[in-house]
Amino acid sequence: MLDFYIVKDDQTKQTYKEKLEREFAGGLDSKTFSNLQSKGIIDKRFDFYSDFRLSRLQITKIRDIISQRQLEADSDVLQFSEIIEKAESRQSGLIAYGD
């Protein structure tokens, strides 16, 4: 599972304790993650098993791609949209932890 947590763009890499205190935004399984990459929603440079961040700007670009490709009703996109909506509502980015 790839777990996403809310993180402010200006926050630096945190300690383990701070990681535990982060607000959980949701998770994606490997199949959904792969499908989102195939659809061009998540950049292929990101790896399911590695940690990465998405800034507010990157999330805005993801929203634009979803809209341009008219994928709002896609089941994989709907699952990811729930995660990015949480970040948007808090004016934050996301940090993903792969396991």
Question: Which long-range contacts (C-beta less than 8 Å, at least 24 apart) are formed by 41-48?
Answer: 41/65, 41/66, 41/71, 41/76, 41/77, 41/80, 42/80, 46/96, 47/98, 48/2, 48/98
Count the Cβ atoms, other than its own, within 10 Å of residue 32: 18
Reply yes or no on whether the pLDDT at 15 is more than 70: no
> Would you say 48 and 2 are in contact if contact means Cβ atoms under 8 Å apart?
yes
Domains by residue range for the chain, with CATH: 2-98 (3.40.1760.20)
pLDDT digits (tens, 9 = 90+) for 35-93: 999 999 999 999 999 999 999 999 999 999 999 999 999 999 999 999 999 999 999 99
Q: Residue 28, class by beta-carbon neighbours within 10 Å (0-12 exposed, 13-18 middle, 19+ buried)? A: buried
Of residues 13 and 33, more confidently modeled: 33
